[in-house]
Amino acid sequence: MRQFRATTAIAAAGATVAAADVTLGRLVRWLLLGGALAGFAVVVAWFAAPNDQGRAYAAFSSDAGRTFGNPIRLDDAASLGKVDVEMLDDGSAVATWVEFANQRSSFRLRRVERSGTKSAPMTIAGATGGRIGGVPRLARAGNELVLAWVETPESGGVGSVKTAVATLPH
């Protein structure tokens, strides 16, 4: 098992990756940070709340995390964070976060490119009927994305774990 520690600043968006552990080609979550590693290409996603305005971001690196490109904002209105990200074979990434708008939280996903181009967001859960609790997770298994989250009824009570699988386009 190969493991190393690195400290890198991701400027201009309020995040510093201090002592992120990289094990077996996967950037392990540290604090509010998610990331994925493929060779020298790295993508990280993070949450920052300057002036109490929650924002979710992603950034790419082509030199194993030594430097990063400009931050790409993931959310459309405001974010509660809970970010995750997976690198895709073409060098783009799929990122997830919890959006907060109109007094509702929703678990969302979008594809982001190194250039800053991003797809329209997809709401996975929470827009109707429930609140997103816990920390949603995203994992890649071959040509599929596996998503897991906790959904709590609007009326309160016990939440339940939900899952979904999406096939990546070829």
pLDDT at residue 169 above 70? no
Among residues of the chain, what percentage have pLDDT more than 70? 73
Name which residue leads in pLDDT, 81 or 22: 81
Going by C-beta distance under 8 Å and a sequence separation of 6 or more, which residues neighbour residue 135?
82
pLDDT at residue 58 above 90? yes
Q: Which helix (H) or strand (E) holds 16?
A: strand 15-23
Q: For 65-76, what is the mean pLDDT?
A: 91
Residue ranges of domains in the chain = 3-167
Q: Which helix (H) or strand (E) holds 100?
A: strand 93-101
At 88-120, the pLDDT tens digits run 989 999 999 999 888 888 899 999 999 999 999
